[in-house]
Amino acid sequence: MTEASAYSVSDAGTRIEAATASATTMKLLLVSVAVIVFVVGGIGIMNVMFVTVKECTKEIGILKALGAKEKDILFQFLLESFCIGVFSGAVGVALSFPAIALMAFTEIPVWPSWDGKVLACVFAVATSTLFGFYPAYKASLLMPVQALAEE
């Protein structure tokens, strides 16, 4: 009886299936986390842009009274949103260097790459620009009389 329990039989196919299932689960988890980060970060950027539009309401009214078109106002706020994305992407990449160095004290293997850093910057810019569009659009629709009457 002890001799039979000393041996076990397994095939490579079972191990590959288990590894594939584990990788699929991990990929789904990471995509879920990325979507949550995208939405939460985007909502934060949208709130910042709404506050910026509220603070600049008089300036928008003056610009529109002087002849600025809706697309000019839209472009101005989209450019600000884009700059927020560029800045946040650069800060994120800069913070990744000490974070990767600290990962050496854990047992989690990390392979830094420039492709990942570029992708993070593109993701930050895309998020800020996409979520900054609606506040910029609302700013471009302000009427000069209403914007100048705002306190």
What pLDDT, in 10s, does the model give residues 87-107?
999 999 999 999 988 988 888
Residue 2 pLDDT grade (very low, low, confident, very high; cuts 50, 70, 90): low
Contact 43, 127 (CB under 8 A): no
pLDDT value, residue 104 = 85
pLDDT value, residue 5 = 67
- Higher model confidence: residue 4 or residue 59? 59
pTM of the predicted protein model: 0.77
Residue 72 pLDDT grade (very low, low, confident, very high; cuts 50, 70, 90): very high
